[in-house]
A and B are shown apart, each in its own frame.
Chain A
Amino acid sequence: MSTRTRPRAHPDDDTTTYREALREGLREALASDDRVFLMGEDVGRYGGCFGVSLGLLEEFGPDRVRDTPLSESAFVGAGIGAALAGMRPVVEIMTVNFSLLALDQILNNAATLRHMSGGQLGVPLVIRMTTGAGRQLAAQHSHSLEGWYAHIPGLRVLAPATIDDARHVLSAALADPDPVLLFEHGSLYNAAGKLDPAVQQVDLDRAAVRREGTDLTVVAYGGCVSKALEAAEELAGEGISAEVVDLRTLRPLDDATFVGSVRRTHRAVVVDEGWRSGSLSAEIESRICEQAFFELDAPVERVCSAEVPIPYARRLEEAALPQPAGIVAAARRVVS
């Protein structure tokens, strides 16, 4: 039995957290489509390892919110089967590190069946998982491997970075006839803010310009978007106008938005919590160089995690991750 309290309305009524926004998305999906069900480790009685599904078991019952054994391969495979049979499963994997146990199911089955069946079989499956570091959970719970999944054709890979995106991403993901992976950055769950009532859906095909600027483009996604915005604020104090692009969808990448931004600013810093070598940041930098080489006025800079397993010790962990100060320094280098 969960020792945690049921979610209460926030003291200040019109603010909400990233976690609550995700939960509202789940609640809406479960309520509006009875093909939708949630399954994963501890999603039911415990309310989700990160508390996202807290209260949903009580609200929708054990058929719709299902606890599974500790076997990622088994329950992801079951989710694929359910999707093939016409359901709309939402599978939660505790962290991206553990998703590797289900990599075979994700890559060899979910991502390929449509192609291998000549379009006869679709896998409308949504897999949610936590990614990223910053909470002293050490190397086995803290890595950012979403870039690996962004390598795989047949998958759509999303990284909601704002409360509005967290609230509305699920309905868009469920509407996709093919498998969608949803990466929730662990450090964002407690982020609080107001939902914009004007936003009723999110466009998964487009990256979003989170802050407009003229001197350089900072490309980020997931947990690094807020760090990029913080850096942009500091840069503004120095008279440097940074545009911040939130990729939002990691596959397929919306080249047009970030390359278009670089065409205007002529300089770019790419922020990626993954390791630099062979990373998503490398892909983004390549596309900028391929598509906007003659617009570049400085080499593209990257701010990535140190190439070590993410350390446990707090200061070491902080030092290993992209931080606003590092983004500011990179921005200064590209404009100076």
Chain B
Amino acid sequence: MAEFTMPSLGADMDEGTLSQWLVHPGDRVARGDVIAVVETAKSAIEVECFENGTVDTLLVDEGTTVPVGTPLARIGTTAESEPTADRPPSTPLVRRLAQDRHVDLAAVHGSGPGGRITRADVEHAEPESARAPEHDTTVGPSEPTHTGIRRQPATKPARRKRSRSGAEAQSAPTARPPRPVRSDDSTGERQAPQRVRSSPLARRLATELGVDIAEVTGTGQGGTVRAKDVRSAAAAEGAAQTAVPNVAQAATARLMSRSKREIPHFYLSTTVDMAAALKWMHARNRELPLSARLVPAALLFKAVALAARKVPELNGHWVDDGFVPAEDVRLGVAVSLRGGGLAAPALAHADALSVAEMMAALKDLVARTRGGRLRASETADPSLTVTNLGDQGVEAVFGVIYPPQVALVGLGRIVERPVAVNGLLGVRPVVTATLSADHRAADGATGARLLTTMDKLLQQPEEL
């Protein structure tokens, strides 16, 4: 039985409202089917399911607001009893034991019912660390235990060791890349380090007033942030600016504040000659029906996506004090909402789309963003965002990075300017492309590579 949970539809989302179920118990669903509509602070989003199976129970009523990670429905999976190849069945206790003893569960033969790995299997397995030089001899994972009774003491020293030296445990070698600490990872020893102590009322008020609770100084016991602290923080902010008019704007405000607080931005800018790209586009448009016609943004975005693939150092996320490159180019597109606020849904595999596909995807995405009907997969984790303010008439935009991304490309208006080409002065259409980048993840040389790559790509539009 699989659980369908409230997804995180953006870095700033910690709860969502289940606004509509599109399935009923008993319905068959396939991976990728849209089964529910979730309302976030920004918009209504269609959420896909990740399982093949049958809807068993809907756990949350329409209209209910729940935290990210809350189970929304149970889905009976078709492969219910078959062990998956890469992950043999095991209980949480066994997984914990394996972790403590540095045993790779994938390599353990399960002797329990249905191939289930039992505690005894883990205890008799050869620990990974026995092969690794970093093996901590004090843990004693290979201590022989031949009776069930003595198992428990064998695990105890390992746990105590973890809690006493958390930093050491953190730095233990792992095969997996670092990933965000999830809030449901509730083992006390691995608590997320930066949790703000705050009262439930303070958190609720902070959301309502659009105050970032991490920014509030707590005056309660042990620095706990209480309602009064949030109110005074909101009043202080209110003195400097007017009230936040809507939730979308408040959500954007929080995210942008976090970005400018945490990310050391640096900015690069270059001017790209658009003559070749526009000439090619006009030629294409003469052959295309009106509904398939291109706009320059499609070419520019495609160039950005390809450049992101070629400069992977800027395509990814800053997680737990380290850069994690993204596997694909998920191009975030900053879309201004008509009521105020911004959304930056993602175009998956943007580097692999043809220009025509990019154009169609862009039209569809922008229309649905403004209509408030995004899909979950479109809001999750863009790897790099592009903002195009050229339509508003400005020549250059120096944007704010969307955390946890590390770069944002800004595109200005295409303008005709006198340009010297091959020693001759001519009037050509040009666009100013800028890069805002996270200096923790990249330096100026890397950033420059992204912009120049993009420039080169736009000089050969037929290759895009």
> What is A's interface to B at a CB cutoff of 8 Å?
266, 293-298, 333, 336
Contacts and interface: CB of A to CB of B under 8 A. Distances in A.
Contacts of A294: 200-201, 203-204
Interface of B: 199-204, 220-221, 224, 226-228
Given A294-B200, A298-B220, 8 more contacts: A266-B199, A294-B201, A294-B203, A295-B200, A295-B201, A295-B204, A296-B199, A297-B227
A97 B302 CA distance: 82
Nearest to A289: B200
A220 B245 CA distance: 43
Nearest to B228: A297
A294 to B, nearest CB: 4
Nearest to B230: A297
Contacts of A266: 199, 201, 227
Q: By DSSP majority rule, is chain A's interface helix, strand, loop, or mixed?
A: loop
A107 B341 CA distance: 62
A240 to B, nearest CB: 14
A336 B220 contact: yes
Nearest to A298: B199
Q: By DSSP majority rule, is chain B's interface helix, strand, loop, or mixed?
A: helix
Nearest to A293: B200
Contacts of B200: 293-297
Contacts of B228: 297
25 contacts: A266-B201, A266-B227, A293-B200, A294-B200, A294-B201, A294-B204, A295-B200, A295-B201, A295-B204, A296-B199, A296-B200, A296-B201, A297-B200, A297-B201, A297-B202, A297-B226, A297-B227, A297-B228, A298-B199, A298-B220, A298-B224, A298-B226, A333-B221, A336-B220, A336-B221
A170 to B, nearest CB: 41
Contacts, number: 28
Contacts of B220: 298, 336
A333 B203 CA distance: 20
Contacts of A295: 200-201, 204
A298 B222 CA distance: 12
B202 to A, nearest CB: 6
A266 B230 CA distance: 14
Nearest first, the 5 closest Cβ-Cβ pairs linking A and B are A297-B201, A297-B199, A294-B204, A297-B227, A294-B200
A295 B201 CA distance: 5
A333 B220 CA distance: 9
Contacts of B224: 298
Interface centre among B200, B204, B224 (most CB of A within 10 A): B200
A297 B202 CA distance: 6
A294 B198 CA distance: 11
Contacts of A296: 199-201
Interface centre among B199, B202, B221, B228 (most CB of A within 10 A): B199
Contacts of B202: 297
A179 B235 CA distance: 55
A296 to B, nearest CB: 5
A298 B226 CA distance: 8
A297 B204 CA distance: 10
A158 B199 CA distance: 34
A297 B226 CA distance: 6
A293 to B, nearest CB: 5
A298 B221 CA distance: 9
A293 B202 CA distance: 11
Interface centre among A294, A296, A297, A333 (most CB of B within 10 A): A297
A127 to B, nearest CB: 40
Contacts of A336: 220-221
Nearest to B226: A297
Contacts of A297: 199-202, 226-228
A24 to B, nearest CB: 45
Nearest to B207: A294
Contacts of B199: 266, 296-298
